[in-house]
Amino acid sequence: MHRSYQPLKPVTNRYLQQRWDLNQYEHHRRKVSSTLPVVDNKGMRTPAHIQLKLKKLPDDRQSIIDRDNRLLASKLANIVCSEGLVDHWNQYSLKSLNGDKRREELLLVGHQNLAIHRRITSCQSDYRRQIWWDDWERTQRRRDDISQHPRELAGKQRKVKFAATTTEKPGTQKNSSKCPQRS
């Protein structure tokens, strides 16, 4: 019994527990052997601007740069020697990407509206205006027959002026324009 595996915690299968513990121990040892030192003792790296030495360019690259510089200098000289006219007018017009589709939809709506207008104007009315007009005249005649004072005579009545019946003091005149009128 002294050679058998003794786990730290109680387990149901000692053999499996021993294998698991050994696998964990091997994994731990691999990690320890592959660790890197925490302190960096390699020394300082040489800066990039010292390694490249950009001032000493290859001949072909230097010739390309010289050509570009000459072109740029000639363009600047043309600008300086010119009268300073700047073409600042934009010759392009704004164009919508879906303008054609909107135009087609507008034409379609126009055709539909025209068709609706034709249908409305070609239909005859269900209302009989002449019947309504005859009925209105009949109603007016009945009203005139029923009423004590016909409507036609109301506009033809003359206006009657009544004389004042109040007694006036001597020496005062009555203004004739203030007489009450009855209409």
Residue 165: is its pLDDT beyond 90?
no
Q: Which residue has the higher pLDDT, 142 or 175?
A: 142
113 vs 123: CA distance, rounded Å: 16
What is the rounded average pLDDT for all residues in the chain?
Answer: 81
Per-residue pLDDT reduced to its tens digit, 79-106: 888 876 766 777 778 888 899 999 999 9
For residue 25, is it within any domain? Answer: yes
Mean pLDDT, residues 120-128 taken together = 85
Q: Where residue 29 falls among pLDDT bands split at 50, 70, 90?
A: very high
Residue 7 lies in a domain: yes
Q: Hey, what are 39's tokens? A: 């302190």
Q: Which of 149, 166, 156 is nearest to 180 (CA)?
A: 166
- The pLDDT value recorded for residue 84 is 67
Say if 131 falls within a structural domain.
no
What domain range includes position 16? 1-32
For the chain, what is the radius of gyration of the CA atoms?
58
The number of domains in the chain is 1
Looking at the domain assignment, is residue 17 inside a domain? yes
pTM: 0.25
Confidence (pLDDT) at 57: 67
- Whether 155 is covered by a domain: the verdict is no
12 inside domain: yes
Q: Tell me: pLDDT of 54 over 60.
A: yes
Is 18 a domain residue? yes
Mind giving me the DSSP string for the chain? -TTS---SS--S-HHHHHHHHHHHHHHHHHHHHT---SS--S-PPPPHHHHH-TTS--HHHHHHHHHHHHHHHHHHHHHHHS--------------TTHHHHHHHHHHHHHHHHHHHHHHHHSPPSS-HHHHHHHHHHHHHHHHHHSSS-HHHHTTPPPEEPPP-S---TT----GGG--EE-
